[in-house]
Copies of this chain bind each other. A is one copy, B any other.
Amino acid sequence: MTTLPAYQNIKNHILNAIHNGVWKEGEAIPAEMQLAKQFGVSRMTVNRAMRELTAEQIVIRIQGSGTYVAQQKYQTTLVEIKSIADEIRARGHIHRSELQELSQSKASDTLKALFELKTKSTLYHSLIVHFENDTPIQVEDRWVNAAIAPDYLKQDFSGITANEYLMMAAPLQGVDYQIEAITAPEHIAALLHISTHEPCLVLHRKTRSMGCVASIATMWHAGTRYRFSGGF
């Protein structure tokens, strides 16, 4: 273990003290000048340590008053899921999509239940393959509530993703997700250019708008070519 920078030692000292309950939520922490003397360090060094702890929401600082321990942080950790098109473009690669299917039908019993419908309303269905530099990266199998997005069939999905259109068509109220690892059925595997026994990273997403289910999508990714990532 190499010697840590002075500001990091100060941060660790503060973090430990809070963690061990020496200072509790809302309580005041010694002033910069005092900590500077205590650690035999310049005030600027203490200031950096405290400024970083402020950015990390460990403490709250009030000018003219003092430094206080912040409310405890969220214990749950989060993973970000990004838009496939934005993600590809952000990497500086070319995003292209191919519309495999676009149709309209009455909801089956299964879909009626999934969409939480009382009657067998009209649904739209699309099957789109997203490419990154001509490599198929995602197959997006989507059902859309016609009542929410009546113009869905008229969209040009080469210029706008289904997701982007839905975000424009109606305000998003809520989302539910599931992520799983399974093998793909034949027609999906073919579109991804993989074999049927290769693992797929699958994201199921249900979005809500206007008080009802707007869209249910299943997004298939080749396990060898795609992963979700995130952090804080």
Contact = CB atoms under 8 A, between A and B. Distances in A.
Interface of A: 1-2, 4, 8, 11-12, 15-16, 18-19, 25, 55-56, 71-83, 86-87, 90-92, 118-119, 121, 147, 170-171, 173-183, 197, 199-202, 206, 210-211, 221, 223-224, 226-232
Nearest to A15: B171
B74 A87 contact: yes
Given A71-B91, A175-B231, 11 more contacts: A12-B211, A16-B171, A19-B171, A25-B92, A73-B90, A74-B83, A176-B230, A178-B228, A178-B229, A179-B227, A181-B223
A22 to B, nearest CB: 12
A182 B224 contact: yes
A200 B181 contact: yes
Contacts of A81: 76-79
Contact of A179 (B178, B211, B229): B229
Nearest to A18: B171
A80 B75 contact: yes
Contacts of A72: 90
Main secondary structure of the interface of A (DSSP, over half): mixed
Nearest to A52: B55
B78 A82 contact: no
Contacts of A211: 4, 8, 11-12
20 contacts: A2-B119, A4-B210, A11-B211, A12-B210, A15-B173, A16-B170, A55-B55, A56-B173, A76-B81, A77-B81, A79-B177, A175-B231, A177-B230, A178-B229, A180-B223, A180-B227, A181-B199, A181-B201, A183-B199, A197-B197
Contact of A229 (B2, B55, B76, B176): B176
Question: In this complex, which of A79, A81, A82 has the most chain B Cβ atoms within 10 angstroms of its Cβ?
Answer: A79
Nearest to A211: B8
A178 B229 CA distance: 4
A112 to B, nearest CB: 12
Given A12-B210, A90-B72, A231 B121 contact: no
